Amino acid sequence: MSNETELSREQLVIIIGEDWMKFQNLLNYCLCPTCKKSVAIVDYKIFLNKMNDIVLKGKCVECNTSINRYIETGENPKYIERIKAIIK
């Protein structure tokens, strides 16, 4: 049994709200263990973990290696309120 809930892009947009442009920028700054540098994440799926943080699981745009991007949303009251409204 997984401790993560998959989210749709639409649900993520609701959670992130007015910070959507900042979030979009984070997609370009993911560490690739193969390239050993910051790269963009592509072909990602969106998950919410048990701490209400967003986890993106996708691939490096340059070498296609699997990479993840962790975004701490679980301590932000405005995100928590929106998460609770989506995940019932």
pLDDT tens per residue across span 12-63: 999 999 999 999 999 999 999 999 999 999 999 999 999 999 999 999 999 9
Within the chain, residue ranges assigned H as helices are 9-16, 20-26, 77-86
How many angstroms separate the CA atoms of 44 and 87, rounded? 20
Q: How many domains, in total, are found in the chain?
A: 1
Domain of 62? 5-86
Q: What is the pLDDT of residue 3?
A: 87
